Amino acid sequence: MEPYELEILKAYSALWRNGPDAFNRDEYYLSSNDPLDFLRLSEEEQQALLDWIDCTFDLDDTVCPGSSYGLKHLFEREMGNYITNGQFKGAMIQYGYDSVDPRYINCRYLVKFSPPEED
């Protein structure tokens, strides 16, 4: 990870930890929903998640109906790996998809589902 990428994750982390959904919460709740939690994944796990995002979403000008929490469950069902909401949010940031409002626990993104690849 490049230093500037870490700084971006830290900036999103600060927005989340100072947002309305983080008020008066315990550390487990905060860390498991923090985009910096992405860094707790191994490099292989990070890459698998980023590859899944690459195959699943395209940039769009409308907000995807699913939140980060719902979308992380899609990943878990398809790939069989548990991830936290924070790890999913961190991966979306790493991939370049900004949250519409990162202050909230469940982020929404300007993405659409990619069309299935033709064989």
Residue 92 in contact with residue 59, Cβ under 8 Å? no
Name the band, by pLDDT with cuts 50, 70 and 90, for residue 115: confident
- 16-69 pLDDT, tens per residue? 899 998 888 898 999 999 999 999 999 999 999 999 999 999 999 999 999 999
β-bridge mates for residue 58, sequence order? 112
Name the band, by pLDDT with cuts 50, 70 and 90, for residue 83: very high
Q: Is 0.85 topped by the overall pTM? A: yes
CA distances, 115 to each of 33, 51, 55, 58, 118 (Å): 29, 15, 9, 9, 9
Predicted confidence at residue 3, as pLDDT, reads 78
The whole-angstrom separation of Cα 38 and Cα 32 is 9
Question: Residue range 63-90: average pLDDT?
Answer: 96
